[in-house]
Amino acid sequence: MTLVVADELRKGNRLALSRVLSQVEAGSPAGERALDKLFPFTGKAHKIGITGPPGSGKSTLVNAFARAFRALPHHPRVAIIAVDPTSPFSGGAILGDRVRMLDLQQDTGVFIRSMATRGALGGLSNRTEALSQVFDSAGYAYILIETVGAGQSEVDIVNLAHTTIVVDTPGMGDDIQSIKAGILEIADILVINKADRPGADQSVRYLQNMIEMGYRSNIQRAGKHALLDVSGDPQTDLPQGWLPPVIKTVATEFEGVEAVLQAILRHGSFLRESDLWRAKDEKALRDTMRKMILSGLVDTWREQVSTVLIEEHIRAVVERNESPGAAVRALLSYNQNVKPFSSE
């Protein structure tokens, strides 16, 4: 049944695609089997992350980028994964990014899927990567991934995306904010949106200065610790790398969008030519497998240790009869005495 659905999805059946996305997001056995079957067809899509503070205009920009991609001569198909936070109290979520993407609604070459974080930190859901694989296998050439409104530490998107776009607005922070903010270091392209507001040029200058400083120190560390894989240029003996451009946009007016589109395409070419594309792909897959191993171990352990036993240890810790460390060591070693998969 599932395998038929996976075939339908590859043929362009959008209802089949939507159902597989739900199964995969839920982590159901059917979803896992579909992913097993679809995975060989992945690895082609250009995944683009869009992150930045709440209210900086991420959704409106994503809408504009999708339109710009669709206007390219070969009209590539575009998928959008829009992530919004799950309420920690109810487990529910309001996913409202589509409100800013209404002009894509009539274009069947664009598929928008909203997703809740479902308890994950880091600005994405634990299943965002898996959903991007489904879109990739279905032949979507560009996948735009919009994170939740990020502060300074929600940087999971770099592990997933080939190109990370950080969006900010004029006057959001001075240069000290820019130095300490982790999200500046992750940017391949920086966008100052709402650039018709006062202070846009000043923000661009601040950011350009910060980037150039970071770029030089990256070069000095090149070959050993640099995040950027800079390779030597025989002509000048200066390393070649990617200097993130800072681009002003007014997304609601479509201003500056074409410049960002060209930067995305240039960055894609840069990654492919420098072999960083393959390196990023491997890094993303390593990261995915690491997370799957961790959650798989937790699930297996949870199946083998009774809730009663866990509660006994928690009581002992609360009563100060046992330290948290001793309790955890006991609970983890308990598992080793139990044969896995024993049905008796």
Partner 1 sequence: MTDQKIRVLIAKPGLDGHDRGAKVIARALRDDGMEVIYTGLRQTPEMIAEAALQEDVNVVGLSILSGAHNALVPQVIKKLHENGQDNVIVFLGGIIPEDDISALVHQGVTKVYGPGTDTREVCKDIREAVITRVEG
Q: Coil, strand, or helix at residue 310?
A: helix
**Distance of closest approach, residue 299 Cβ to partner 1, in angstroms:** 6
Pattern of binders to partner 1 over 2-41, x per CB under 8 A?
A: ------------xx--xx-xx--xxxxx------------
Give the residue, chosen from 9, 35, 83, 116, that forms a contact with partner 1 under the rule CB under 8 A: 116
Give the residue, chosen from 42, 76, 114, 285, that forms a contact with partner 1 under the rule CB under 8 A: 114
* In contact, 125 and 27? CB cutoff 8 Å: no
Using CA atoms in the order 112, 113, 116, 117, what is the torsion angle rounded to 10 degrees? Answer: -90
If one asks whether residue 93 binds partner 1 (CB under 8 A), the answer comes out as yes
**Distance of closest approach, residue 119 Cβ to partner 1, in angstroms:** 9
**Distance of closest approach, residue 25 Cβ to partner 1, in angstroms:** 8
Give the residue, chosen from 10, 33, 98, 266, that forms a contact with partner 1 under the rule CB under 8 A: 98
Q: Coil, strand, or helix at residue 211?
A: helix
Report residue 33 as tokens: 């089997």
Nearer to partner 1, 4 or 176 (CB): 4
Say if strands 163-168 and 231-232 run parallel, antiparallel, or are unpaired: unpaired
Q: Give me the amino acid identity at 176.
A: I
Cross-strand partners of 81: 113, 145
Give the residue, chosen from 10, 70, 118, 283, that forms a contact with partner 1 under the rule CB under 8 A: 118
Sign of CA dihedral 300, 301, 302, 308: positive
Helix axes 307-318, 324-336, angle to 10 degrees: 160
**Distance of closest approach, residue 38 Cβ to partner 1, in angstroms:** 17
* In contact, 50 and 101? CB cutoff 8 Å: no
Pattern of binders to partner 1 over 46-75, x per CB under 8 A?
A: ------------------------------
Interface positions, 297-316, toward partner 1 (CB under 8 A): 299
Stretch of 70-78, 89-97, 189-197, 223-231 contacting partner 1, by CB under 8 A: 89-97
Nearer to partner 1, 16 or 45 (CB): 16
Give the residue, chosen from 37, 47, 53, 111, that forms a contact with partner 1 under the rule CB under 8 A: 111
Nearer to partner 1, 252 or 274 (CB): 252
d(CA 180, CA 220): 20
CA atoms within 13 A on the CB side of 309: 15
Sign of CA dihedral 8, 14, 17, 18: negative
**Distance of closest approach, residue 73 Cβ to partner 1, in angstroms:** 25
**Count of residues that bind partner 1 according to CB under 8 A:** 34
- Distances in Å between the alpha carbon of 128 and those of 26, 266, 334? 11, 25, 34
Nearer to partner 1, 105 or 217 (CB): 105
d(CA 188, CA 214): 12
**Distance of closest approach, residue 19 Cβ to partner 1, in angstroms:** 6
Nearer to partner 1, 98 or 266 (CB): 98
Give the residue, chosen from 112, 144, 187, 250, that forms a contact with partner 1 under the rule CB under 8 A: 112
CA atoms within 13 A on the CB side of 259: 16
* In contact, 155 and 148? CB cutoff 8 Å: no
d(CA 78, CA 47): 10
Q: Coil, strand, or helix at residue 164?
A: strand
Stretch of 102-110, 180-188, 212-220, 333-341 contacting partner 1, by CB under 8 A: 102-110
Binding footprint of partner 1 on the chain (CB under 8 A): 14-15, 18-19, 21-22, 25-29, 86-87, 89-96, 98-99, 102, 105-106, 111-114, 116, 118, 295, 299
